[in-house]
Amino acid sequence: MSVNKVFLLGRVGKEPTSKELSKGKICSFTLATERKYKKDNQPVTETEWHNVVTFQHAAEFASTYVNKGDTVYVEGFLQTRKWTDKQGEDRYVTEVVVNNIQKVNRPKQDGKSDSYDDRQAKPSYDNSEDTPF
């Protein structure tokens, strides 16, 4: 048995970028989380940057309501993609694929929701035929 689940609360580091694909919308942004601790009795803050990607309805929500500097809560899973660049080198990126996103401390306007939860939807990028189990 295994688990691949991610829960993050952090600040959006850059304006989300989105584009339309044949199977729906995709939206991506970076998310900064902090870890605070003491070293030699001095406070230390470490920032970790996460690549976040959303699809379909969650991407619509993120591209419409999420902005640089916003605090958001995301749920999803980790996925590492591999591709070959123009020089023939293999490249890898690990992303948080989000199926639930919520803005934190944002007042609702016009009765619209400040979150999108797509945990029941099957992602359009699913390559389950390639999964060995």
Contacts for 27 with CB less than 8 Å, ≥ 6 apart? 16, 17, 18, 53, 54, 55, 58, 59, 60, 62, 63
Domain boundaries, the chain: 6-122
Q: What is the pLDDT of residues 24-62, one digit of tens each?
A: 899 999 999 999 999 999 999 999 999 999 999 999 999
Q: What is the pLDDT of residues 67-110, one digit of tens each?
A: 999 999 999 999 999 999 999 999 999 999 999 999 997 555 55
Q: Specify the CATH architecture of the domain 6-122.
A: Beta Barrel (2.40)
